[in-house]
Every structure is written in structure tokens, then in C-alpha cells.
């Protein structure tokens, strides 16, 4: 039996996509470089200046709307597109921020450069930390340590747990939690204190050996995640609190698990770790049923742990048997955790490459389930298993239309399509199949506009580009003037149809300002015909246009001012 709704899984998808990109960024840029750029911005923009405060605010809004895409990096620079009223290209120089540039009209630091920087900053720390740092008269290190007690205040000389015993670790985690909870100074700062004090204490007391230390951090992060969920069960949190106060900690815990696992894989794992992995099978299950809050994040972390740490047939067999039994009980008792058990079973299918079984299950779910596949697609991409990936790309392409027409919120659709196209692009590049990506962009309009727009310009498919702008109803005034100039230079005449249409649209509005704009477009038409050495066509066109609208006295005056016609 299948539950036909993944209620809640799509709630935090925009932040999930953002996290996926920023995690990749964090591998390319050093934290010191990013924090250094933040120091520069603090000196360049004053929190006492109203214009500077508005600038940071506008950049933050663009960042939170998910407007940054097509991000690439070198050792000290970042290139990104920012979708505002129109799309602009931002180039950040993290060594010397004033040398950063943007294709918008502003010559100074603009909201687009700030938005792109915040996107980069999210790869090394919470954006809220930077905003706090910018507002306050203290160094970034002070802000990061603001709510953290010194390690020496927690030090005890006695050995507090057995290095190679997960049970001993959990007892230690619980003992430290009880001690922390007794000394919580304010219930209003409960979750902040849990993360900055309790969690920091656990990490400071990790074992010395590098391999055990990182696995200890994984377990400590999972523990704090579960403690947050249990605290939420005891309260009645608002949506604002869940999304803006607590979510950043959930997000950071997941990132820390990923970072610790990557660090673990640098070493040959000791045999002493095997018993801890066996015990972890049961431990990680708690993510599925501890709370109804953060359904997507719980499932995502569960999947990450299984993909990276527990991917062994003997573990999968044990887990599958437990999940099937638990799912039967959940459905029988109408318990709220059936969805988690179903998606976990799909994950076991994925680990055993039973893709057709997953596709069959997914077809019985709502379209909102589509983004749930992205973790699996990313894992296959990482392993460069192109044959297996082809089936998944086909599934995404086949079901994108159904998703686009679903009741999912517009902003979530945009984030989903953007993330999906990133996966498809990586596959099409590997297969050297540009047509696949172009077809995907065309089929996913209007949500794929930004990616399709960039693709057509990059490939110099200008006629298709013009068709795209016309299809989506963009006027010339809304298009990037730098792009138009490049097209005019590279392929004279190709823009004539859109110029002619824009002239007609402006004349139809019948105001002096519209007539002036029509004349500006007519001058561009004239220049294009001159480049094409077809001046006679221009002469016929302008005379016909003037005659057709001879009753519009103001328009005729503007034509004369522009020296396009004479008495």
C-alpha cells in the first residue's frame, strides 16, 4: 500500500537547493578568503548609513529569493548570474572586493554584488552570522564565538566515554545535555544555546584519532538534530520560528555531517569503527520517527548517512526488514510516519540499484515528490555511472511537465526546475549532447527562462533567443542593452523583427514618451539596415511608417527631431 502524498517534503526545498550549490562552492573557496571579503564589505559599507543599510537589505532579499545561478569559481574569484528585473552578470574579486563588477548600470557596490557575496558566504557559514557581524562593532571571529563558552569551562580530567563504543558516546551525549539544560539562562535562547554551547562542547571533546574524531562529530551532529526535534515536540513553534530561527541550525548540522564524512574518507577507516557502524543502523532510524517537523530534512540526512556510511548489503537487508515491518504497523495504526518509512524503503531500493521499482513507486505519488529524487541523481552523477543515469534523466524529463502544472507554489517550482536543469546540464555535457539540455529548457518554460536565455546566447542562437523573449512577452526596454549590442555586432539584422514590433507597440500607446522611445528604436533599425547595406529598404520602411501615422502630430514631430524624416 502506498501513501499518495509526500506532505511537507516540498516545504523547505528552496533552502535545500541553495544548500546543495553552496556545499559545492565551499569545496572551491577557502573560508579565510570569504571571511576576508566580508571584512572588506564591513569597511566599505557602514551600518550607520541608510543607503548602505538598504543596499544590504536588497541584496539579502535577492539572495533569499534564490536569484543567484550559474555560479563558477577560481581560487579567488566568483562569477554568477543574478536574476533581478533582468538578468545581470556579477564578477566578485574576493581578494579586492572593490574590483568586483556587475553589468547593471551602477558603478558602485550594488545589490547584485551583495546578493552574490551572500550566496558565497553561505558556503562557509550562516548568512545571519555575516549580517550580525556587519551590524555590530566587533570582528567576525567575535561574532562567531558570541554565544560559545570556552572549552576550558567544560573540561573534566576523567575519561568521560569509551572511544570505540557508540553506546558510551550516547550516554556521554545525554549526560552533557542534562548538564547543559540545567544551566540554560533563557528559554527564549534555547535553540541558539543548544547549538552554540551544547553542540560546541560535544565537538571539543571528540576523540584524538582523526578517523574516530570525525565519526564522533557525525554522531554528535545527529544527536543535536534529534535533540532539536524533541524540544520542538514539547513546544508549539510558529512557521516563522521553524523557517528562520531553527532551520539554519538544522541546515548547518547536515552540512557538518557531510563535511565530517568527507574528512573521514581521507583515511583508511580502522576496524574498530565497524562495531560503531553496526550500532548506527538503529541509531539513524530515529531520524524517521522522532518528530513530524522537518520531514524533508530528516529524510535527506537519513539518506546521506546511508549512502556514505552504511552502504553494505548486510546493513541494507536488516534495515529493509525493519522498515517493511514498521510500515505495516504505521499503516495499520494510521500513524503519521508512513511516508518516512516508504521513502526510506525507496532509498534501500536505490542503494541496491532497483531503479524500476523506485519509478513504479514514484508514479503513485504526487508530483511534489519529483525533487525527492535529486539526492539519488546527484549520487549517480558523482560516480559517473552514465548508463544508470540515463534512466533517471529520462524520468526527470518525462515528469517535469506534470510537476510544472501541479499545485506546488511558484517559487518552489522555479527552484526545483533550476536545480533539475543543473543536473541535466551536467549529464548532457558529459554526453556531449547539447540538444538534450536545450529540449529540457524548452519543455520547462517559463521556469527555465534564465538557463535557456544563457544557453542560447552562449551558443549564439540569436533567432531562437529572440523567439524566447517574444514568447514570454518581454519588451526591448526590459532586455539587457549590453546583450542587444553584442547581438547587433555579431549578427546584424537578426534583431530587426523585435525592433519593428517594439516600434509598433510604442506608437500604439500614443504618448510623447512612447513616441520618443519608438524613435530610439527606429534609429537602431536604421543603423542595422546601413550595416546590411540595404538603405533603400530603410527608406521605404520609414516613409511608409510616417505616412501610416501622419495624423499623429506628436509622433511626426519626434521623427523630425530625430532627423528620420524631413519636411
176: nearest Cα among 152, 148, 211, 202: 202
Of 95, 125, 155, the residue that ends a domain is: 125
Is 542 within the bounds of a domain? yes
Residue 421 falls inside a structural domain: no
Q: 448 near 417, Cβ under 8 Å?
A: yes
User: Are residues 221 and 325 both part of a single domain?
Assistant: yes
Q: Whole-model pTM?
A: 0.64
Task: Output the CA angle 468-471-473, nearest 5 degrees.
Answer: 110
Boundary of a domain, candidates 309, 344, 374: 374
Q: How far apart are the C-alpha atoms of 383 and 415, rounded to whole Å?
A: 24
Residues 184 and 235 reside in one and the same domain: yes
pLDDT of residue 160: 83
Q: How many domains, the chain?
A: 3
- The boundaries of the domain holding residue 114 are 31-125
pLDDT score of 349: 96
Let me know whether 315 and 262 are in one domain.
yes
pLDDT of residue 87: 86
- Predicted confidence at residue 14, as pLDDT, reads 40
- Cell numbers describing residue 43: 569597511
pLDDT of 28 = 61
Q: Which pLDDT score is estimated for 512?
A: 92
Q: Which H or E run includes 73?
A: strand 68-73
Q: Is residue 471 part of a domain?
A: no
> How much is the pLDDT for 155?
39
The verdict on residue 553 lying in a domain is yes
Say whether both 199 and 328 belong to one domain: yes
Do 233 and 339 belong together in one domain? yes
8 Å CB contact between 233 and 291: yes
| Mean pLDDT of each 10-residue bin along the chain, 567 residues long | 38 41 55 88 88 88 78 87 87 91 91 92 78 66 42 48 89 92 78 93 91 94 96 89 92 95 82 86 93 92 94 92 91 84 94 94 86 91 94 94 91 91 95 95 93 93 90 82 87 88 90 92 91 92 91 91 85
3-class secondary-structure state, position 101 = strand
Domain presence at residue 423: no
Check residue 158 and give its pLDDT. Answer: 54
Q: Same structural domain for residues 181 and 117?
A: no
Amino acid at each position: 500500500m502506498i501513501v499518495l502524498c509526500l506532505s511537507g517534503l516540498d516545504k523547505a526545498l528552496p533552502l535545500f537547493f541553495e544548500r546543495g550549490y553552496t556545499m559545492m562552492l565551499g569545496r572551491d573557496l577557502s573560508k579565510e578568503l570569504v571571511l576576508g571579503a566580508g571584512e572588506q564589505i564591513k569597511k566599505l559599507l557602514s551600518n550607520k548609513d541608510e543607503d548602505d543599510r538598504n543596499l544590504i537589505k536588497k541584496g539579502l532579499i535577492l539572495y533569499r529569493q534564490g536569484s543567484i545561478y550559474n555560479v563558477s569559481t577560481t581560487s579567488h574569484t566568483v562569477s554568477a548570474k543574478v536574476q533581478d528585473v533582468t538578468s545581470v552578470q556579477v564578477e566578485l574579486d574576493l581578494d579586492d572586493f572593490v574590483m568586483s563588477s556587475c553589468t547593471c548600470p551602477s558603478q558602485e557596490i550594488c545589490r547584485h554584488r551583495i546578493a552574490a557575496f551572500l550566496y558565497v558566504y553561505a558556503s562557509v557559514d550562516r548568512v545571519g552570522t555575516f549580517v550580525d557581524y556587519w551590524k555590530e562593532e566587533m570582528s567576525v571571529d567575535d561574532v562567531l564565538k558570541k554565544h560559545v563558552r570556552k572549552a576550558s569551562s567544560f573540561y573534566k580530567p576523567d575519561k568521560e566515554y569509551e572511544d570505540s563504543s557508540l553506546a558510551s558516546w550516547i550516554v556521554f551525549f545525554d549526560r552533557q545535555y542534562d548538564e547543559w539544560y540545567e544551566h540554560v539562562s533563557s528559554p527564549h535562547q534555547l535553540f541558539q544555546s543548544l547549538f552554540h554551547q551544547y553542540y560546541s562542547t560535544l565537538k571539543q571533546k571528540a576523540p584524538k584519532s582523526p578517523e574516530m574524531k570525525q565519526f564522533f562529530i557525525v554522531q554528535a551532529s545527529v544527536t543535536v538534530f534529534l535533540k532539536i526535534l524533541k524540544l520542538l515536540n514539547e513546544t508549539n513553534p510558529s512557521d516563522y520560528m521553524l523557517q528562520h530561527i531553527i532551520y539554519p541550525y538544522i541546515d548547518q548540522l547536515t552540512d557538518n555531517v557531510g563535511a565530517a564524512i568527507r574528512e573521514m574518507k581521507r583515511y583508511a577507516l580502522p576496524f574498530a569503527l565497524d562495531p560503531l557502524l553496526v550500532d548506527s543502523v538503529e541509531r539513524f532510524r530515529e531520524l524517521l520517527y522522532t518528530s513530524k517537523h522537518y520531514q524533508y530534512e530528516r529524510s535527506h540526512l537519513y539518506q546521506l548517512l546511508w549512502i556514505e556510511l552504511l552502504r553494505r548489503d548486510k546493513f541494507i537487508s536488516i534495515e529493509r526488514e525493519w522498515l517493511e515491518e514498521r510500515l505495516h504497523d504505521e499503516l495499520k495504526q494510521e500513524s503519521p510516519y508512513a511516508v518516512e518509512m516508504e521513502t526510506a524503503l525507496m532509498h534501500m531500493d536505490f542503494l541496491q540499484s532497483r531503479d524500476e521499482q523506485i519509478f513504479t513507486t514514484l508514479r503513485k505519488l504526487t508530483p511534489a515528490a519529483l525533487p525527492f529524487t535529486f539526492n539519488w541523481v546527484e549520487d549517480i552523477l558523482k560516480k559517473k555511472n552514465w548508463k544508470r543515469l540515463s534512466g533517471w534523466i529520462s524520468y526527470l524529463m518525462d515528469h517535469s511537465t506534470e510537476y510544472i502544472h501541479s499545485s506546488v507554489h511558484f517559487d518552489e517550482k522555479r527552484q526545483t526546475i533550476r536545480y533539475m536543469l543543473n543536473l541535466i546540464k551536467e549529464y548532457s555535457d558529459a554526453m556531449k549532447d547539447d540538444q538534450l539540455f536545450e529540449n529540457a529548457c524548452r519543455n520547462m518554460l517559463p521556469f527555465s527562462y534564465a538557463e535557456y536565455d544563457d544557453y542560447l546566447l552562449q551558443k549564439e542562437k540569436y533567432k531562437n533567443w529572440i523567439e524566447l523573449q517574444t514568447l514570454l512577452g518581454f519588451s526591448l526596454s526590459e532586455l539587457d542593452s549590453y546583450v542587444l549590442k553584442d547581438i547587433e555586432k555579431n549578427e546584424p539584422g537578426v534583431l530587426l523583427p523585435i525592433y519593428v514590433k517594439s516600434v509598433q507597440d510604442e506608437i500604439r500607446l500614443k504618448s510623447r514618451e512612447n513616441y520618443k522611445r519608438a524613435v530610439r528604436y527606429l534609429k537602431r533599425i536604421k543603423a542595422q539596415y546601413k550595416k546590411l547595406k540595404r538603405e533603400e529598404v530603410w527608406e521605404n520602411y520609414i516613409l511608409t511608417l510616417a505616412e501610416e501615422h501622419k495624423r499623429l502630430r506628436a509622433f511626426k514631430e519626434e521623427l523630425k527631431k530625430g532627423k528620420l524624416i524631413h519636411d
